[in-house]
């Protein structure tokens, strides 16, 4: 019963639609009506500005981290990745926003932070390098998801200081989330192919499309 209640709590944490709520409370805007219609960090940056974007990113990240930490905080002998995954499901299918949520990137990163801070920062370095090179959040998110999944298999062999042992549940969850992230970015993939994808105003390629 305790495990079930905490899994439900993890879902509710993930379901917090930070971008929607911040937009409505502080800007009198529903960001789902603007830009890409997304509820996450990228659309918040575009519609509400940098401060709001950073706040939404931090909240969405910490949702995954806190949910993943629940079995540790409540002394449960359950793999914390299950709780992180449930939070990601909540983020993508939020009960508080009509079951229409984000693309799972920030909350998935939060799950990694809760599971292994060192592995999270290793992945973050890759994300920032690719973002600097491509100037595209969408491409960076997809490439980083693929990189993280591959790293769960390779790192215990070549760099165990970062990830000491294989956790096949971690690999499976990362594979599922990578597939989902790429699927949710299918329109971005078409824009990348057409050369019309939006870019962040820094990096090697700063040109706005």
> What is the CA 138 to chain-centroid distance, rounded?
12
CA distances to 1, 28, 145, 165, 167 from 179, rounded to whole Å, are 32, 34, 9, 23, 19
> What is the CA 1 to chain-centroid distance, rounded?
28
* pLDDT at position 38 over 90: no
* pLDDT at position 208 over 50: no
Phi/psi region, residue 140 (left: phi>0; alpha: psi -120 to 50; beta: rest), is: alpha
Q: How many angstroms separate the CA atoms of 164 and 127, rounded?
A: 21
What's the pLDDT at 33? 93
Q: How many angstroms separate the CA atoms of 70 and 54, rounded?
A: 24
pLDDT band at 205 (very low <50, low <70, confident <90, very high): low
Structure tokens at 69: 């930490």
* pLDDT at position 46 over 70: yes
> pLDDT by residue (tens digit) across 119-159?
999 999 999 999 999 999 999 999 999 999 999 999 999 99
Cβ 197 vs Cβ 134: under 8 Å: no
* pLDDT at position 58 over 50: yes
pTM, entire model:
0.92
């Amino acid at each position: 019963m305790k495990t079930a209640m905490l899994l439900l709590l993890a879902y509710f944490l993930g379901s917090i639609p930070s971008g929607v709520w911040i937009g409505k409370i502080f800007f009198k805007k529903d960001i789902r009506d603007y830009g890409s219609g997304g509820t996450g960090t990228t659309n918040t940056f575009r519609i509400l500005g940098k401060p709001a974007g950073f706040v939404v990113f931090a909240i969405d990240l910490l949702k995954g981290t806190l949910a993943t930490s629940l079995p540790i905080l409540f002394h449960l002998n359950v793999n914390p990745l299950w709780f992180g995954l449930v939070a990601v499901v909540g983020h993508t299918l939020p009960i508080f926003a009509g079951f229409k949520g984000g693309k799972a990137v920030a909350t998935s990163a939060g799950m990694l932070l809760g599971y292994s801070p060192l592995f999270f920062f290793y992945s973050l370095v890759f994300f920032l390098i690719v973002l600097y090179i491509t100037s595209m959040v969408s491409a960076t998110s997809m490439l980083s998801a693929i990189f993280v999944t591959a790293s769960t298999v390779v790192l215990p062999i070549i760099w165990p200081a970062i990830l000491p042992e294989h956790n096949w549940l971690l690999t499976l969850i990362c594979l599922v989330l990578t597939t989902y992230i790429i699927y949710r970015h299918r329109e971005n993939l078409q824009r990348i192919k057409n050369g019309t994808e939006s870019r962040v105003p820094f990096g090697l390629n700063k040109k706005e499309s």
